[in-house]
Amino acid sequence: MDLVVLTLTLVIALFVFLGTGVWVALSLFGVALIAIGGFTSAPVGPIMSTTVWGSSNSWELAALPMFIWMGEILFRSRLSEDMFTGLAPWITRLPGRLMHVNILGCGIFAAVSGSSAATAATIGKMAIPELNKRGYDEKMMIGTLAGSGTLGLLIPPSIILIVYGVGTDQSIARLFIAGVIPGIMLVSMFMGYVIVWSLLNRDKVPPVDVAMTLMEKIYAARSLIPVVILIAGVIGTIYAGLASPTEAAAVGVVLALFLSWVTGSMSRETFVDALMGATKTSCMIAFILAGAAFLTVAMGFTGVPRQLAEWISAMQLSPYMLLFALTLFFMVLGCFLDGISVVVLTTSVILPMVEAAGLDLIWFGIYIVIVVEMSQITPPVGFNLFVLQALTGKNILYVARCALPFFLLLVAAVVLVIAFPGLATWLPEQMSQ
């Protein structure tokens, strides 16, 4: 069958499934069944059973529920509140003052959570009441939380980087390390914007509440010790080569449970809630990955990825033009699907083009995550927008307007990563030497 007709048929089928409210995972299975059953003579049953088992039976994938569980523990414990308390005294002299707690707090929490929604919800739950009480500008407060919450997708350990690594057979440890410099770059860009905005809008930044001596700040910083221990335990063991990402995830869960117990915020109810929350999220992602794996195999049988790659190659697009087209494609797709679904849906079709263009797959993983970050703060299906809408009670379009400057900063970050690929590839190259 003609490539255009076949592709349109499968795309229409996917949007029909998704538009009628069918789960993303079941939609993927449905499209794969149509592709194999309707356009090939391959046996559907054996292919599906073998592919689903193969995609689920992965040691690397075991890191996923562990990191999600760790994030759930932190979300329900006092560690996140202690982090806010320890950070606040050190940035009161910086233009923007406590606005930077949102950014730094999200950056730190992202380093021990891996989830964008969990990062935005946890920091937002603490920061919004405090900043409202002190009279900070509401739009900037919401914007910093919306933009910085996306750091949970990039700063390791990132759930979406694990998903990408499993789907593309790339080293998860190298992907984690590749996300460090771009993550720091985004934190710096967000803080820089807040500083400039504060200098231009001095009347919208309240004065310092209480001046603290150096010793008082150091004493307050003791609240950061548990979080520092947790980051060192998880990220440090990976970078030092002492543990694989899966083993480091287990270390993180043990440390999170222990530190929550030591700080007195771990109860039987908290433990059960965190475990059940992690189980539900992990099962959802694993189900989506299984559907995506089946769809990938089905697409291979139809020959669509190969023909599409040949078609793109025949157009002789430069790598920059290809990335420009892909950026627009991911942004549109991200308006309707969550980040993980975008990655697993597109991997099988996009990778042949990416490889044909000679792009590094580790670098491409960081690129795609930053683009997906942009989709987290774009309506109608921006997950961070939903989280902040629930926390603030504001209209989702109002929240989206507040997030617009940070969306534009993410666009600038994509341009920088494309212009200077070493931002994402330098650390992994040092690791392999």
Residues 124-152 have pLDDT tens digits of: 777 787 788 778 888 998 999 888 888 87
Q: What is the pTM of this model?
A: 0.75
CA distance 284 to 270: 21
**188 three-state secondary structure:** helix
The total number of structural domains in the chain stands at: 1
Question: Which conformational region is residue 234 in: left (phi greater than 0), alpha (psi within -120 to 50 degrees), or beta?
Answer: alpha
Q: What is residue 99's predicted lDDT score, i.e. its pLDDT?
A: 84
Contact of 289 with 51, CB cutoff 8 Å: no
For 287-336, write each residue's pLDDT tens digit.
877 887 788 788 778 877 667 666 666 777 788 888 888 888 787 777 66
The structure tokens 């992965």 sit at 58
CA–CA separation, 293 and 343 (whole Å):
12
pLDDT the model gives residue 181: 92
Q: What is the rounded distance in angstroms from the CA atom of residue 48 to the CA atom of residue 27? A: 14
**CB of 234 within 8 A of CB of 172?**
no
pLDDT of residue 433: 61
C-alpha–C-alpha distance, residues 192 and 209, integer Å: 23
Note the pLDDT of residue 312: 64
| pLDDT score for 7 | 74
| Spans of the chain below 70 pLDDT | 1-3, 60, 80-81, 112-115, 117-118, 208-212, 214, 305-306, 308-313, 335-338, 348, 379-382, 431-433
Burial 396-412 (b: 16+ CB within 10 A, else e): eebbbebbebbbebbee
Q: Alpha-carbon distance 260 to 79, whole Å?
A: 7
| Domain encompassing residue 420 | 3-432
* Cβ 343 vs Cβ 164: under 8 Å: yes
- So what's the pLDDT on residue 196? 93
The answer to whether the beta carbons of residues 176 and 154 sit under 8 Å apart is no
For residue 335, the 8-state DSSP code is T
145 touches 106 (CB < 8 A): yes
Q: Which amino acid is located at 156 in the chain?
A: P
pLDDT recorded at residue 335: 65
Q: Is-contact 106 116, C-beta < 8 A?
A: no
CA distance 411 to 292: 27
Cβ-based neighbours of 201, under 8 Å, separated by 6 or more: 137
* 380 phi and psi angles, rounded to 5 deg: -90, -10
Given this model, what pLDDT does residue 429 score?
A: 85
SS3 409: helix
How far is the C-alpha of 275 from the C-alpha of 69, rounded, in Å? 6
Which DSSP string corresponds to 82-99? HHHHHHGGGSTTSTTTTH
Give the per-residue pLDDT at 220. 73
Contact 165, 428 (CB under 8 A): no
Measure CA 107 to chain center.
Answer: 12
User: In the prediction, which pLDDT does 413 show?
Assistant: 93
Q: What angle do CA 32, 36, 40 make, to 5 degrees?
A: 155
| Predicted pLDDT of residue 416 | 95
